[in-house]
Structure 1
């Protein structure tokens, strides 16, 4: 395995993280939970019902002292903003040539000693009845656990919940994850996926 290290954050990236941390704290948010070791896992960012989720999440990661990563379209990593995107934790995903994002992220896990990949399974801040299952496939193929990410607007507390290893039984694993989220209040509760029946079905067939 060829281990790679992240590009150190530049001045602009440090200023943005500091600004988000200050904003997060001024709004009365606090961080809960601990960062599991080793720092190699998929962070499930749900429910994702508002653009505010991302801003508060940046403050949360700064508060917890972690450098989480996220996927982005490869065209966003060109000059002039490419360097900044990488310094903020962005990982380019190139869908040209038939490569899917699952295989690309599994390869990233294989190249890194530390990699905390954040994925919003709802894929949108709007109302949805399905979760995209790429986060689960990545965890299974990379042989890494999933960590439940929480942004609880009821308590103004954000953090990392329990670590859950994928077993290959998609329904059973999703039940464990949703059980954690049932006590978490999103900004717009009516937009959040709450029922196991909303996220299984075709996904179960894909795992067999």
Structure 2
């Protein structure tokens, strides 16, 4: 473990946090991080990234990348995305993977910090288009655990895979419990 990883581990432990699960084992990957309910998820994600020793980039809405704040987000590894244009979004994010030999990116599948009833599908199609695995990363504030599951390769022949991914995050308590993702069973 490098010194930066040791420091990140100590800071996480100081606040009572633990990182569990699968260590990333691929050269590229998409960290699907949920629930995203509060701004404090961002510094937690930066600590986890440092603990893992990976240069995990992140996608965020374009409006966050203006002025001084924008420069800081870029320095921290951010990629601005215009979410008002859905056309070409998946392809443009997937193309970023082709530009790098080793590359990881994090995406919040809810697309907002507010309560949602279903996850957006863009992350799945990005992984499929880029032919990279997903690392399902749960930020569970009730247990103070960041749990990583993966690699999970997108499989379009598995018609239940997206539902399985949604179920994976269902009930994980975010910083704002009321905004945490709870999968709605459509058959009820």
Structure 2 residue ranges without an equivalent (≥5): none
CA distance in 2, matches of 1:37, 1:142: 17
The residue that corresponds to 1:112 in the other structure is 100
CA distance in 2, matches of 1:196, 1:168: 22
Matched, 1:67 2:68: no
More helix by percentage: 1
Q: Deviations over 1:34-82 (max 9, x none)?
A: 4322231111111122222222222111112122111235575567555
Q: With CA pairs under 8 Å and 6+ residues apart, which has the higher RCO, 1 or 2?
A: 2
Q: Deviations over 1:121-143 (max 9, x none)?
A: 11111112132211011011111
Question: Number of residue pairs matched?
Answer: 183
Matched, 1:55 2:46: no
For the aligned residue pairs, the C-alpha RMSD in angstroms reads 3.3
Contact 1:146 1:165 in 2 (8 A): yes
CA distance in 2, matches of 1:73, 1:57: 17
1:178 to 156, 160, 166: 166
The structure-2 alpha-carbon separation of the partners of 1:79 and 1:30, relative to structure 1 and needing over 3 Å to count, comes to same
2:33 to 32, 36, 45: 45
1:148 to 132, 136, 140: 136
**TM-score normalised over the length of structure 1:** 0.71
CA distance in 1, matches of 2:72, 2:36: 24
Does the residue aligned with 2:160 lie in a helix, a strand or coil? helix
The residue that corresponds to 1:125 in the other structure is 113
CA distance in 1, matches of 2:171, 2:179: 16
Q: Deviations over 1:91-116 (max 9, x none)?
A: 23367999632121111011111111
CA distance in 1, matches of 2:115, 2:86: 30
**TM-score normalised over the length of structure 2:** 0.78
Structure 1 residue ranges without an equivalent (≥5): 1-14, 199-208
The residue that corresponds to 1:192 in the other structure is 180
